[in-house]
Structure 1
Amino acid sequence: MSARGTTAQVLLTHGVDTPAELVAARLDAPRDDEVLVRIEAVGLCHTDLATRAALGTTPAVLGHEGCGIVEQVGSSVAEVAGVRVGERVVLSFRSCGSCERCLGGAPAYCEQSQRLNNAGRRPDGSATVTVDGHPVFASFFGQSSFASHALVAASACVPVGDVAPEVAAPLGCGFLTGAGAVLNVLRPGAGDRLLVVGAGGVGAAAVLTARSEGVEVIVVEPLASRRELVGSFGAKAYESFDELADPGISHALDTSGRPEVVDRVLGLLDPLGTLAVVGLGRARAEIDVRRLMLRGLTLRGCVEGDAVPGELIPDLLRRHAAGTLPLDRLVTTFPLAEWDAAVAEQRAGRVLKPVMLP
């Protein structure tokens, strides 16, 4: 490591038809507001796969659920409380911190979100990662953590203390989204019934969180192994909507991203019920607007669980430490070099939440 940057191993992808490869890369030196983090664990999220597909054959370093140890800090990072050399941090999404939405407690809807998280470079256009002297798409969600090291904005780091990195890493996005959708958006209480469609990483985290709040949960999930898992958390799990009889559902969360599910779930909701959608699928759906109006239903989008990461991540880790949120039961670890195998296992439904270990 030096003022000129850091040599690291990164997982380079070249599109969906080419295996990913671990290669040597050069990370830029931390700027005033950045930190260098040695990655200990990083979750694999559907957004990584969707972005790889969208980029085509563009060489890219993805990964946006990192957890690791801070090794270097920029000159102004001391102003960011808790982000110190030697500190274990979870890396979450970037936000500007100064727009109206950020100041209003909604950083997931930051006015600069696209530029900060999905441009492939710093906001000023400079590259953070080079391979063989050539810039590659990186700075994904401000981190690109499928790597041995990541260059991250200090403001996107959440100190987490002594916790298993493989459990903490998915709190950067996937687990944060599921838990936040329950706690921040739907907010079911005693006597409510929550329907969760899809029991992947996001859906299972939502189930666990709702159960930690004492909420009755119903799950629709086609995979038997996932139904069995959420059933062990106290949820009632069904293979299809056709098995539901008089569900009496007050709240619902769709993680499937399937437009046809939206109208189906709206039809199951009690009057004044709320459906939150977090899945990315086809862009358009047909819904019965008359039913929506006459029954007083709410259809709500949700990004990153409407969370302030620095507040929700520590809360979820406290629940985990108390034994009410066993997130470790959702995780399966893989070496980073076996990324393609992890993708295949997740798609086949044999693992719920792959977490890569550099």
Structure 2
Amino acid sequence: MKITAAVSGRGGDAPMLEQLEQEEPRAGEMRIRLVATGICHTDLHEHPGRHSPQPIVLGHEGAGVVEALGEGVTGFEPGDHVILSGNSCGRCPSCLAGRPTYCDLAMPLCFGGKRLDGSTALCGDEGAVHSHFFGQSSFATHSIVPVRTAVKMDKDLPLEKLGPLGCGVVTGAGGVIEALKVGFGDTIAVFGTGGVGLSAVMAAKLVGAKRIVAVDLSDERLELAHELGATDCFRGDAEDLAAKIRGVTGRGLDFTFNTTNAPAVHTLALDVLAMNGTAGFVAAPLGEWAPQMFAMLAGGRQLRGILGGDANPRTFLPKIADYWRQGLFPFDRMLSFYPFAEIDRAFADAHSGKAIKPVLLMETAE
């Protein structure tokens, strides 16, 4: 069938809208009519061509409606509302343990731009276009997805708001709740208050953290972080920042959660830990960086890498949606909406920081 998709690899600062031919779903796949999809920094980084082949349709925070089922698909039917998250094999030890973000095949399944058999679901005037980015390629009006990528949601929830749950929100909220296991009365500092960082702030408030420190260079974002649950806010360029953060408790924080790739911030996130504290991070340092190993040893401190919040999307995302419905997790406050046809403006606003979490409304495509 003919679809409209935004293709990366054609030049320019943003993907270009094109008419493509899309296959019917194969065994174990479904066709989803996208209602909305969020733009994540991974999309921004992959647009110029970092890990994935090009041309490719990116997008991995999709939300939509099931239209057609491939052979052997069970548990879904046409008309179901779904969020799309990352792809995984379902058979390796990590998948069987409910940690699909650490799937043995995560890289080829999410960044390979094709099925494991080498095929793609999309074709344009100039030949094949890579698909299946994170198992979805949701910068499109329709997507062919492996069944493990989809999470069924209640139909009374607003699909146009749900897409970011599949990556940015689950990374931040899952990082706090599932990976770090922050609990009632604990203390945490969150470095970077974009979509992932603000999700971490909301999750820390949700579990009853006693002090929640937010650090950013944007006063506007720090104000929002305070409104969403941060008890203490500091600009990242403040003098004696480490001492100020440690001074919140007088002994440092139980946890830190770093969403940035700045080596200096990675150092800071370790420096402000209390004894036996844990520094979680979701982005690797950009450039040379080495932790102070003696300080980690002497203080019993840990450095913890986190992908996808350590969460199982099928069980975690419905919980977050229900918390939103109860008014306990207002993630929609960080969303900005754009017609699909204005993806270039959405990309620009994501790059500049004008929008914390841009969301494309696919049904407005021209």
TM category, shorter: over 0.9
Q: Structure 2 matches for 1:224-239, cutoff 5 A?
A: 224-235=219-230, 236-239=232-235
Cα shift at 1:18: 4.8
Residue identity in the other structure for 1:89: V
Q: Is the alpha carbon distance of 1:8 and 1:280 closer, same or farther for their aligned partners in structure 2, counting shifts above 3 Å?
A: farther
Question: Match for 1:274: what amino acid?
Answer: T
| Counterpart-to-counterpart distance in 2, 1:346 and 1:49 | 8
Task: Report SS of the residue matched to 2:139.
Answer: coil
Which of 32, 38, 54 is the equivalent residue of 1:58? Answer: 54
The Cα shift of 1:7 comes to: 1.1
Is 1:147 paired with 2:147?
no
**Who is 1:262 aligned against?**
266
For 2:61 and 2:204, how far apart are their aligned partners in 1? 22
Structure 1 residues 302-324: Cα deviation after superposition (integer angstroms, max 9, x where no partner): 00001110010011011001110
Q: Distance in 1 between matches of 2:143 and 2:287?
A: 32
State the partner residue of 2:333: 329
- Closer, same or farther: CA 120–344 of 1 in aligned 2, 3 Å: same
Which of the residues 208, 214, 219 maps onto 1:214? Answer: 208
Evaluate the alpha carbon distance shift between residue 232 and residue 129 of structure 1 in structure 2; reply closer, same or farther with a 3 A threshold.
same
State the TM-score, normalized to the length of structure 1.
Answer: 0.94
Q: Quote the Cα distance in structure 2 between the aligned partners of 1:163 and 1:100.
A: 33
Query: How many angstroms apart in 1 are the aligned matches of 2:13 and 2:162?
Result: 30
State the match for 1:204 in structure 2.
Answer: 198
- 1:43 lines up with 2:43 in the alignment: no
For the Cα contact (< 8 Å) 2:13–2:344, is it kept in 1?
no
Q: Which residue of 2 aligns with 1:132?
A: 125
- SS of alignment partner, residue 17 of structure 1: coil
Greater Cα offset, 196-205 or 156-165: 156-165
Range that drifts further, 121-130 or 237-246: 237-246
Q: Distance in 2 between matches of 1:52 and 1:15?
A: 10
When the two chains are superposed, the root-mean-square deviation of aligned CA atoms in Å is 1.6
Aligned residues: 350
Q: Distance in 2 between matches of 1:14 and 1:194?
A: 40
Residue 64 of structure 2 is aligned with which of 45, 68, 88? 68
**AA partner of residue 256 (structure 2):** A
1:248-259 correspondence runs (5 A) = 248-259=252-263
Listed as ranges, the gaps of 5+ residues in structure 1 are: 1-5
Asked if the contact 2:44/2:351 (under 8 Å) is kept, the reply is no
Counterparts of 2:229 and 2:15 in 1: how far apart (Å)? 38
Bigger shift: 42-51 or 7-16? 7-16
Check whether the contact 2:14–2:347 (CA below 8 A) recurs between aligned residues. Answer: no
Counterpart in 2 of 1:158?
151
**In 2: Cα distance, 1:50 partner to 1:117 partner:** 14
Query: Distance between the aligned counterparts of 1:318 and 1:57, measured in 2?
Result: 37
Q: Which residue of structure 2 aligns with residue 195 of structure 1?
A: 189
Instruction: State the TM-score, normalizing by the size of structure 2.
Output: 0.92
Deviation, 1:153, is 0.5
Maintained 8 Å contact 2:188/2:213: yes
Work out whether residues 16 and 52 of structure 1, in 8 Å CA contact, stay in contact via their aligned partners in 2: no
What is the CA–CA distance in structure 2 between the aligned matches of 1:147 and 1:271, rounded to whole Å? Answer: 48
Separation in structure 2 between the aligned mates of residue 9 and residue 195 of structure 1, nearest angstrom: 42
The residue type equivalent to 1:195 in the other structure is A
CA distance in 1, matches of 2:84, 2:186: 33
The separation in 2 between residues aligned to 1:231 and 1:225, in whole angstroms, is: 10
Partner AA of 1:250 in structure 2:
D
SS at match of 2:32: strand
Whether the aligned pair in 2 keeps the contact of 1:278 and 1:302 (CA below 8 Å) is yes
Is the CA contact 1:166–1:331 (under 8 Å) kept in the aligned structure 2?
Answer: no
Q: Which residue of 2 is the match for residue 289 of structure 1?
A: 293
